[in-house]
C-alpha cells in the first residue's frame, strides 16, 4: 500500500533497495519494518473494526435481525483477538521499531534479521486465525479468553492455538530485540535516566512480554492436548480443573493489558511536554510509576475471577493488590496535569489526542477502581459495565495514544506535514462518537445487561441504539484517519522541518525529515539540553 | 445499579455509590485543573512556559491522599466480602445447575428437613423463544406478562423461594461454565463443572426477580434467563408441599424430575474446590 511511494522517495537516500520484494519482504531496516508493523496494524484495526460493526448492528435493536447467535459469538471473539494481537500490540511494536533507535541514537535495532522474522510471522498467524471464519465449523466462538470447557467445543481449536503460538513467538522476539537495543545500543551519553519516557515504557513492557507470553503459550497448549490428545488439565470429569485455566490465562492476561497501556503512557509523556513547551513533571516518578504498575500487574490476576468462588482470603488479597494500582496510575495522571500547568500550550492534533487520552483513560481508571471492589464487582462482573471499562482504557487509552503518536511522528516519517484541518476533524469526530459509543454501556451494565449476548430485553433498547449509532460514526471517523495518512504520504506539498514541533526535544528531531534510510551510523554527540529529559534531578 | 431486594444486596449498591462519589469528586478536581490549565496556559494567550518540573511536597500529597481514600474503600469492601462469604445459619438449600442452555433447580432441604425429589428444569419461555429466532417477524415489544415486558427474561418454570429466609445456593454446572446472576440479589456466582460454589441470599420483599446467565456458555448464552419468585413463607410452604406430593405420585408430572439423575451425572465428578461451607 504505502510501499510504492515511500519507496520512491527513499530512492535518493543511499542503501534502500529498489526492488519492491527485496526492500519490504527481506528488510532488516528498523524504519521499514516499523512501517510494515504500522500498516499491518492499521489493516487489522479495520478488520477488527468491521467485526465490531457487525456486533453493534445486531445490537441496534432487540430481536435478531442479521446474524445467528453462534456467528455473533465468533464476531465478539475475533474482534477481541484481532484488536489485541493484531492492532494494538503490533502498532506499539511498530512505533517502537521506528522510534527507539532514533530516540537513543542507535543506527538500527540490535537484531535486524530477527526483527524481519518477528514481523513476517504475523501475517501468517492472522491468515491462520481469520481463515477459520471461512471453514466448516466456523471460527472460535468461546470468547478471546478461551475458557474451557466451552472453547474446547469449537472445531477451530487447533487453528486458534497455533495462531496464538505464532503471535507469541513474534511478540517474544520483538521484546528481546527491544531490550537488546535499549540496553546495548544507546549512544554514549544517553544514560538510562536520560532516555525518553517512551523508551523506558517499552523497556519495561518488553520484560512483561517475555515473562507472560510463554505462560499464554503453555495455557493454549494444554487446551490443545485436552482437545486432541485426551489429557484432562481442565476437564473436571478427568480430575482436572476448569478454573486452573483461568488462573493461568489471567496470569498472562493482566500483564497483557499493561503491555497494551504502558507504551501509551510513554507516548503521552513525550507528546504533552512537547506541546506544553515545558519539561515533563517528575520524570523519575513517571518511570518509577511505570515500573510499579508492571510489578503489580503480576499479583492482581484473580480480580478477573471474583465470581468463580475464590476463598475469602483470595478475594481480599486480590482486591487490595488491585486497588494499590490506583496509586502509581494516579501519580501519572497528576504529573501529566502538572506538566501542562504553567506551560505554553498549543493544540495540534497529537496534543488533542493526548489530552483526550488523559481524560478518557482516567475515566476508564475510575471504573477500574470501582471494579476492583469485589462486593460491587459481584454485580459489575461480566456485565456491560466491564465492556465500557475496558473499551475506555483500550480505545480511548491505547488506541488514542497510538493515533496521537502517529500524528506526532508522521511528518518525521514522511517528510510532509499532514493536514491539520482533517486531523482535527478526525479528532473531534473520534472523541465525540467514542463517548456516544461507550459511555451508555456503563448504564447498560448497571441496569443488568450481561456482556456477549446477541439480543436483549427491550428495557436495554434505548442505550443500545445510542451506543450503536456512536459505534457506526466512530468507525466511519477512522476513514478520515486513513485519508489523512494517504494525503501526508503521497499528496501533501508542505515540507516538514527537521524539528517538526516547536517544543519538541530529543534525538529523533535532530535527523532530517523524512528520516533517511540509515541514521546515526556514527553515534551522535549528546548535548543534555537537546534531550527532553537531559537534566533530571527529580 | 439496583438497590436490590435482599438482605445483602444493599452492600454492593452502597459500595457502588461511595466509589462512584469518590471518582466523581476526584474527576472534577483533576479535570477541572486540566481545563483551567488549558485555558490559562495557552500560547495564543501569550503564556510563557515555566521551567519547573518537580515539587516534592505536591508529590507526597497526591500519593498520600489516594492511599487514605483507598484504605477507607478497602475497609468498606472487606466488610461486604466477609458477610457475603458467610453462608452459615441458612435455613434452606437450593442446588443450582447450569446446562447449555437452561438451569436446573433442586430443593435440597428446608428448615433442617431434607426435601425429596423436588427439582425441575427452568428454560426460556416459549413466547420469547419464538420471537428471538432470526427474522421471526415477531415484535420483542409484544412479549409481555401483566403489562411488563419479559422478552428474554421469562422462564417456563421459575425458582420459587420464601422471603425472610436465609437460603444457601450450591451452584455447579453440567457441561460448560455458566454464571447465575439475579441483580436484585446483589451478586453473581459462576456455575462450574466439577466445582460446587456456595452463596446465600435472604430476600426481603415478595416478588419476581429476573436475571440472566452471565458467563459466555455457547450459542444460546443470551437465552437462558433466571426468574426467582419470592413468596411469603406460608405460601411457599404450601407450594413446597404440593410439589412434594406430586413427586411421590408415579404420575407423568414427575417426568421432568425423573430426568434429573441422568442430566445431573456430570456434577458427580470429583469436587476439587469448594467455597466456604
> Which CATH number is A446's domain given?
1.20.210.10
Question: Which of residues 183 through 202 in chain A touch B, CB cutoff 8 A?
Answer: none
pLDDT of residue A173: 97
Residue A536 within any structural domain of the chain: no
Query: Does residue B276 carry a pLDDT above 80?
Result: no
Does B222 contact A453 at a Cβ distance shorter than 8 Å?
Answer: yes
User: In which band, very low, low, confident or very high, does the pLDDT at B252 lie, cut at 50, 70 and 90?
Assistant: low
Does A379 contact B187 at a Cβ distance shorter than 8 Å?
Answer: yes
Burial A23-39 (b: 16+ CB within 10 A, else e): bbeebebbbbbbbbbbb
What mean pLDDT comes out for the span B139-153? 92
pLDDT of residue B249: 76
Percent of chain A with pLDDT over 90: 92
Does B27 contact A366 at a Cβ distance shorter than 8 Å?
Answer: yes
Give the global pTM.
0.92
Residue A371 within any structural domain of the chain: yes
The number of beta carbons lying within 10 Å of the beta carbon of residue A48 is: 20
pLDDT of residue A469: 97
Query: Does residue B145 carry a pLDDT above 60?
Result: yes
Q: Rounded to whole angstroms, how far apart are CA atoms A261 and A364?
A: 12
φ/ψ (deg, to 5) at A242: -60, -25
**ipTM, 2 decimals?**
0.89
Annotated active-site residue in A258, A283, A392, A409: A258
What mean pLDDT comes out for the span B47-58? 85
Based on the residue annotation, tell me whether A155 is a catalytic residue of this protein. no
pLDDT of residue A17: 83
Residue A414 within any structural domain of the chain: yes
pLDDT of residue A14: 61
Domain that holds residue A218: 9-530
Query: pLDDT tens digit string along B193-202?
Result: 999 999 999 9
β-pair type (B113-114, B102-110): antiparallel
User: In which band, very low, low, confident or very high, does the pLDDT at B258 lie, cut at 50, 70 and 90?
Assistant: very low
Query: Does residue B27 carry a pLDDT above 60?
Result: yes
B237 inside 8 A of chain A by CB: no
Enumerate the H helices of B41-148 as residue ranges.
Answer: 56-85, 126-131
Residue A363 within any structural domain of the chain: yes
**Contact between residue B207 and residue B139 where contact means Cβ atoms under 8 Å apart:** no
Q: Which residues of A touch B267 (CB under 8 A)?
A: none
Q: Rounded to whole angstroms, how far apart are CA atoms A260 and A240?
A: 32
Number of residues in chain B: 277
How many beta-carbon contacts under 8 Å exist across A and B? 298
* Lookup result for grid cell 435481525: A65
Residues sharing a CB contact under 8 Å with residue B68, sequence separation 6 or more, in sequence order: none
Closest CA relative to residue A382, chosen from B122, B178, B198 = B178
B49 inside 8 A of chain A by CB: yes
User: In which band, very low, low, confident or very high, does the pLDDT at B232 lie, cut at 50, 70 and 90?
Assistant: very high
Residue A103 within any structural domain of the chain: yes
Per-chain mean pLDDT for chain A: 93
Residue A460 within any structural domain of the chain: yes
What mean pLDDT comes out for the span B182-209? 95
Q: Which residues of A touch B50 (CB under 8 A)?
A: 278, 342-343
Q: Rounded to whole angstroms, how far apart are CA atoms A169 and A154?
A: 24
Number of separate domains in chain A: 1
Residue A537 within any structural domain of the chain: no
DSSP annotation of B103 reads E
Residue A242 within any structural domain of the chain: yes
Residue of A64, A323, A446 with shortest CB distance to B74: A323
Instruction: Point out the residues of chain A with pLDDT beneath 50.
Output: 1-12
Could you give the C-alpha distances from A255 to A174, A179, A262, A324, A389, in angstroms and in order? 17, 17, 10, 15, 17
pLDDT of residue B269: 41
pLDDT of residue A223: 96
β-pair type (B225-231, B102-110): unpaired
What mean pLDDT comes out for the span B246-254? 66
Does A342 contact B50 at a Cβ distance shorter than 8 Å?
Answer: yes
Query: Does residue B151 carry a pLDDT above 90?
Result: yes
pLDDT of residue B46: 85
**Contact between residue A297 and residue A304 where contact means Cβ atoms under 8 Å apart:** no
A137 inside 8 A of chain B by CB: no
Percent of chain B with pLDDT over 70: 90
- Please give the distance of CA A140 from its chain centroid, rounded to a whole number: 22
Based on the residue annotation, tell me whether A269 is a catalytic residue of this protein. yes
Number of residues in chain A: 538
Amino acid at each position: 500500500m504505502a510501499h510504492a511511494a515511500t519507496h520512491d522517495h527513499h530512492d535518493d537516500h543511499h542503501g534502500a533497495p529498489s526492488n519492491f520484494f527485496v526492500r519490504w519482504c527481506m528488510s532488516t531496516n528498523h524504519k521499514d519494518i516499523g512501517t510494515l508493523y504500522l500498516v499491518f496494524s492499521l489493516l487489522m484495526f479495520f478488520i477488527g473494526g468491521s467485526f465490531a460493526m457487525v456486533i453493534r448492528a445486531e445490537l441496534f435493536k432487540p430481536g435478531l435481525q442479521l446474524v445467528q447467535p453462534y456467528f455473533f459469538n465468533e464476531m465478539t471473539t475475533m474482534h477481541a483477538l484481532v484488536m489485541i494481537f493484531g492492532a494494538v500490540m503490533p502498532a506499539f511494536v511498530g512505533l517502537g521499531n521506528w522510534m527507539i533507535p532514533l530516540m537513543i541514537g542507535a543506527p538500527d535495532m540490535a537484531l535486524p534479521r530477527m526483527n524481519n522474522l518477528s514481523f513476517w510471522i504475523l501475517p501468517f498467524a492472522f491468515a491462520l486465525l481469520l481463515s477459520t471464519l471461512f471453514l466448516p465449523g466456523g471460527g472460535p466462538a468461546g470468547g478471546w479468553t478461551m475458557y474451557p470447557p466451552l472453547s474446547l467445543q469449537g472445531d477451530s481449536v487447533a487453528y486458534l492455538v497455533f495462531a496464538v503460538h505464532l503471535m507469541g513467538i513474534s511478540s517474544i522476539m520483538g521484546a528481546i530485540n527491544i531490550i537488546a537495543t535499549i540496553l546495548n545500543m544507546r549512544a554514549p551519553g544517553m544514560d538510562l535516566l536520560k532516555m525518553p519516557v517512551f523508551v523506558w515504557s517499552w523497556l519495561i513492557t518488553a520484560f512483561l512480554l517475555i515473562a507472560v507470553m510463554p505462560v499464554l503459550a503453555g495455557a493454549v497448549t494444554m487446551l490443545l492436548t485436552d482437545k486432541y490428545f485426551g489429557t484432562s488439565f481442565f476437564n473436571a470429569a478427568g480430575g482436572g480443573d476448569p478454573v486452573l485455566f483461568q488462573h493461568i490465562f489471567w496470569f498472562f492476561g493482566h500483564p497483557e493489558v499493561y503491555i497494551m497501556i504502558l507504551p501509551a503512557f510513554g507516548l503521552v509523556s513525550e507528546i504533552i511536554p512537547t506541546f506544553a513547551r515545558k519539561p515533563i513533571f517528575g520524570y523519575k516518578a513517571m518511570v518509577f510509576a511505570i515500573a510499579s504498575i508492571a510489578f503489580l500487574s503480576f499479583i492482581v490476576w484473580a480480580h478477573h475471577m471474583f465470581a468463580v468462588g475464590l476463598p475469602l482470603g483470595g478475594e481480599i488479597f486480590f482486591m487490595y493488590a488491585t486497588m494499590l494500582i490506583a496509586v502509581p496510575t494516579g501519580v501519572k495522571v497528576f504529573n501529566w496535569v502538572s506538566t501542562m500547568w504553567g506551560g505554553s500550550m498549543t493544540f495540534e492534533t497529537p496534543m488533542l489526542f493526548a489530552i483526550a487520552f488523559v481524560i478518557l483513560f482516567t475515566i476508564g481508571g475510575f471504573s477500574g477502581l470501582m471494579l476492583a471492589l469485589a462486593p460491587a464487582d459481584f454485580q459489575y462482573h461480566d456485565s456491560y459495565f466491564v465492556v465500557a471499562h475496558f473499551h475506555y482504557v483500550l480505545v480511548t487509552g491505547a488506541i488514542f495514544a497510538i493515533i496521537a503518536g502517529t500524528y506526532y511522528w508522521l511528518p518525521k516519517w514522511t517528510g510532509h506535514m499532514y493536514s491539520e484541518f482533517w486531523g482535527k476533524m478526525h479528532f473531534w469526530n473520534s472523541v465525540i462518537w467514542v463517548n456516544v459509543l461507550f459511555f451508555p454501556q456503563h448504564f447498560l451494565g448497571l441496569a443488568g445487561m450481561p456482556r456477549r449476548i446477541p439480543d436483549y430485553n427491550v428495557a436495554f433498547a434505548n442505550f443500545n441504539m445510542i451506543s450503536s449509532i456512536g459505534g457506526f460514526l466512530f468507525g466511519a471517523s477512522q476513514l478520515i484517519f486513513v485519508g489523512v495518512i494517504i494525503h501526508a504520504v503521497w499528496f501533501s506539498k508542505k515540507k516538514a522541518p527537521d524539528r517538526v514541533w516547536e517544543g519538541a526535544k530529543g534525538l529523533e528531531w535532530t535527523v532530517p525529515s523524512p528520516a533517511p534510510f540509515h541514521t546515526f551510523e556514527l553515534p551522535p554527540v549528546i548535548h543534555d539540553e537537546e534531550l527532553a529529559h537531559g537534566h533530571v534531578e527529580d | 445499579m439496583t438497590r436490590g431486594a435482599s438482605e445483602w444486596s444493599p452492600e454492593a449498591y452502597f459500595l457502588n455509590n461511595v466509589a462512584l462519589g469518590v471518582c466523581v469528586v476526584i474527576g472534577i478536581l483533576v479535570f477541572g485543573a486540566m481545563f483551567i490549565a488549558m485555558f490559562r496556559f495557552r500560547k495564543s494567550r501569550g503564556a510563557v512556559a515555566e521551567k519547573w518540573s518537580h515539587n516534592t511536597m505536591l508529590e507526597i500529597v497526591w500519593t498520600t491522599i489516594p492511599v487514605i481514600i483507598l484504605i477507607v474503600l478497602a475497609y468498606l469492601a472487606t466488610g461486604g466480602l466477609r458477610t457475603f462469604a458467610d453462608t452459615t445459619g441458612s435455613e434452606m438449600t437450593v442446588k443450582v445447575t447450569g446446562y447449555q442452555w437452561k438451569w436446573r433447580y433442586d430443593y435440597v432441604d428446608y428448615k433442617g428437613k431434607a426435601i425429596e425429589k423436588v427439582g425441575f428444569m427452568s428454560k426460556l419461555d416459549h413466547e420469547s423463544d419464538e420471537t428471538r429466532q432470526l427474522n421471526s417477524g415477531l415484535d420483542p415489544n409484544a412479549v409481555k406478562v401483566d403489562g411488563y415486558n419479559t422478552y428474554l427474561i421469562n422462564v417456563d418454570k421459575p425458582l420459587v423461594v420464601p422471603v425472610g429466609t436465609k437460603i444457601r445456593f450450591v451452584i455447579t454446572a453440567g457441561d460448560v461454565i455458566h454464571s447465575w446472576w439475579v441483580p436484585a440479589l446483589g451478586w453473581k456466582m459462576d456455575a462450574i463443572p466439577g466445582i460446587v460454589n456456595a452463596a446465600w441470599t435472604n430476600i426481603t420483599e415478595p416478588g419476581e426477580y429476573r436475571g440472566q446467565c452471565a458467563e459466555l456458555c455457547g450459542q444460546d448464552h443470551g437465552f437462558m434467563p433466571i426468574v426467582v419468585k419470592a413468596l411469603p413463607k406460608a405460601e411457599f410452604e404450601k407450594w413446597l408441599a404440593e410439589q412434594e406430593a406430586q413427586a411421590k405420585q408415579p404420575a407423568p408430572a414427575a417426568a421432568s424430575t425423573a430426568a434429573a439423575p441422568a442430566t445431573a451425572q456430570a456434577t458427580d465428578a470429583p469436587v476439587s474446590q469448594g467455597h466456604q461451607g
